[in-house]
Amino acid sequence: MKSISTSSLEPQIYIDAPLFLDEGYVLLTPDIPVTRRLIERLESWYFETVYSDGMPVEAPPADGTGKVGVLDATMKESEALQNAVDFITEETEKLAKIYTSFLEHNVLSINELSDIVKEIIAKLKEESRYLLALPDSEEEDQNFIVTHSVKTAVVALALSLFLNIPPHKQIEIGLAALLHEIGMIRIPPQIYKHNRKLTPKERQTIITHPVISFKILKEAGFPNPVVLAVLEHHEYIDGTGYPRKLRGDQISLYGKIIGVASSYAAAVSKRPFREGRDGHSGIMDLVKEMGRRYDDAILRALVLTLSVYPVGTYVLLSNKVKALVVKTDQKHPKEPTVRLLVNENNTLYPEQPVVQIREDNEVKISRPLSRSEIEELKKQLPLRH
């Protein structure tokens, strides 16, 4: 594509091919004219260059194809998100079969589990953006312990990739993540499927699950680092965790990683008794416990991997525009790329422009949208986001 200087754009002209802000992000389609407001917006967001294969023309195309560009870009995002849902669903089904086999035959296949880990690593390397949004799978309500284990593995393996942990250790971390809650299948589900205060006896039952998981993996012959990580995933840096009240570096690296990954995955996923939180709130919940529950280095890795505003987070900008985070930058976790959806007058952007939040820009992210605001916004959108 040719680069076009923003300063050369003129109001009320059309471009006879889609105009791109960045690779993959459509700014305008041929049926929508350049406006003074668009030019001012580009200047205020410090975009000096846009891209297109088209030429300036005085009228829109007569064949009605102008809206294809934005539609295609939005559809691609929807397809990528659906692919992530399908992947998590498929891996959940595989892990559910392994759990069922264990219940029926008391056998755990390290090879089958390792294959799941390798598939997750490959998927993260191929396209991590929407996978790390941890979309709810079709199996969420039926197998939330198994789905949670898969999502924990996704986050834990993303952290291990970010931290440049050697490949063979990544496999061990993935195994620990997939099996860290296996002890829960020996606890009556009525105890953990309800959002109510546990009795002292029920709480005591719940906190035995790391020990149960530890014993299961030990008997199955899993490597010691995997077994220890499963035992330690509820230990906290300040010594208030369980089952052994370990402190600081008494907790293994694997245990610290699984602890952070599991807590984040649980926060942003729905449960039979509640909805999941948005990615930003999930991140902030953990950051508040930095140095108390969670290791500083692992939490920093989580923030840099996912961003302060993870992909899929709906946000309100300081100019009252509502937007969706569609891309993050590990070097600038507070500066995601967002797709503008609704302006300050609650009117849809027909072109749904994509812009990057910048630290030196007047426009900032004010806050994530509430669940009720998101539901109202989705009713306005022409396509599912």
The mean pLDDT of 192-213, rounded to a whole number, is 82
More confident residue, 221 or 51: 221
On whether the CB atoms of residues 326 and 339 are closer than 8 A, the answer is: yes
pTM: 0.77
- The residues spanned by each domain of the chain are 2-66, 87-306, 314-380
Q: What is the pLDDT of residue 125?
A: 94
Q: Is domain 87-306 annotated with CATH 1.10.3210.10?
A: yes
Residue 84 has pLDDT above 80, yes or no: yes
- 348: CB partners within 8 A, 6+ apart: 341, 342, 380, 381, 382
Residue 183 has pLDDT above 80, yes or no: yes
Rounded to whole angstroms, how far apart are CA atoms 373 and 38? Answer: 26
Confidence grade of residue 138 (pLDDT, cut at 50, 70, 90): low
The mean pLDDT of 295-310, rounded to a whole number, is 93
Can you state the angle between helices 224-232 and 209-220, rounded to 10 degrees?
170
- 93: CB partners within 8 A, 6+ apart: 139
For the purposes of burial, counting CB atoms within 10 Å of the CB of 138, is it exposed (0-12), middle (13-18) or buried (19 or more)? middle
On whether the CB atoms of residues 67 and 29 are closer than 8 A, the answer is: yes
CA distances (Å), 139 to each of 88, 90, 136, 148, 365, in order?
9, 9, 8, 10, 33
The mean pLDDT of 104-109, rounded to a whole number, is 93
